Amino acid sequence: MENIDWKCLPFGYLKTDFNIRCVYKNGKWGKMEVSTSEYIDIHIAATGLHYGQEAFEGLKAYMGKDGKIRLFRWEENAKRMISSAFGIMMAPVPSEMFKEALLKVIELNRKYVPPYGSGATLYIRPVLYGSGAEVGVKPASEYTFIVFVTPVGPYFKGGIKPVNMMICRDYDRAAPMGTGIYKVGGNYAASLRAIESGHHGGYANIIFLDSRERKYIDECGPANFFGIKNNTYITPKSESILNSITNMSLLDIARNMGMKTERRQVPIEELSSFIEAGACGTAAVISPIAKIFDPENSKVYEYCKNGEPGADTLKLYNKLVSIQNGDEPDPFGWVTIVD
Ligand SMILES: Cc1ncc(COP(=O)(O)O)c(C=O)c1O
């Protein structure tokens, strides 16, 4: 694409040429269709609009040095979307159909896959919502599945940069035994005020605590948390956080690099014992945490005193990004070449 400045792309929406759509009606999925429109026609009583029957996914395609496009762990996104559909009683999208839609939308928008070395990637957004009309609170009988793509710039322009975070004491993102483990829109609506209050205070993001006792770390906005000490990668186990595919991958890479790993409750006080800490997710891969501020007691937990990410964080980041880009072999079988 001659008129896209790949190096200056923001992490935002840019129109591409095609998207994929499919409708579930009368108990079965219909034919997959290609659309050139950025808009949808939606019934005024669709459950996706009124009762939050909506789930989405986010994954990326990477252009390699070899000119091949790589998709990272799409099977996990497919599984998670099935789990989200189960959580809010929507028709699930079968994995094979999910894969077919991804491959088709990438192929059709091939010219929007950013070149190798630009730092940009093709972000893929599958979305599923109740499109059938209901007025009573019940699941719809019709669902729409859409996949669109948009090229996005790197989350951090100047490379991996430590950020400051604030513990959120005023809002919960999800209730215990609620929908926090699903990637449904309602969780994100519930997090907006909290994230905005963090931004207002000058923080890159906020850290949610467990909403039952407010004693343990849950998540960092739309990313999972990890801390590192004693050659151990530690990440919260909670009944209300999204199971991050980036985090799952970092756990495997950490073990592979000879680190120990723990997935367990992480009490707030433990923040003072970590040597490194970070947030992880598809968008930024890893956001190293420089400082965490706790407004309850004005305590500050500091990690990157020299303004640079810690050594283990950097090793984990480099390894994962190299596998995603195809710069290093993929011993885990995570990458699918799009052809
Ligand atoms: C709430 C939340 N937690 C964690 C993540 C990170 O998940 P993943 O690594 O699969 O992108 C995301 C982003 O998808 C998220 O929205």
Per-residue pLDDT tens digits for 205-257: 999 999 999 999 999 999 999 999 999 999 999 999 999 999 999 999 999 99
Ligand 1 contacts CB of residue 223 (under 6 A): yes
- Distance of alpha carbon 108 from alpha carbon 103, whole angstroms: 9
Ligand 1 contacts CB of residue 184 (under 6 A): no
- Distance of alpha carbon 320 from alpha carbon 309, whole angstroms: 15
| CA pseudo-torsion sign 74, 79, 85, 88 | negative
CA of 27 to the centre of ligand 1 (A): 30
Cα dihedral 10, 13, 14, 17 in deg (nearest 10) = 150
What is the structure's pLDDT at 233? 98
CA of 210 to the centre of ligand 1 (A): 17
Ligand 1 contacts CB of residue 282 (under 6 A): yes
Nearest atom (ligand 1) to Cα of 173: 1
| CA pseudo-torsion sign 247, 253, 255, 258 | negative
- Among 74, 60, 27, 56, which Cα is nearest to 146's? 56
Give nearest CA residue, ligand 1 atom 5. 223
User: 272-316, pLDDT tens digit by residue?
Assistant: 999 999 999 999 999 999 999 999 999 999 998 888 999 999 999
- Distance of alpha carbon 129 from alpha carbon 59, whole angstroms: 18
Give nearest CA residue, ligand 1 atom 4. 223
Segments of the chain with pLDDT less than 50 = none
What is the structure's pLDDT at 2? 57
Name the residues annotated as catalytic.
183
Instruction: Name the residue of 282, 320, 324 to mutate for ligand 1: max ligand atoms within 8 A of Cβ.
Output: 282
Contact yes or no for 240/175 (Cβ under 8 A): yes
Contacts of 28 (CB under 8 A, 6+ apart): none
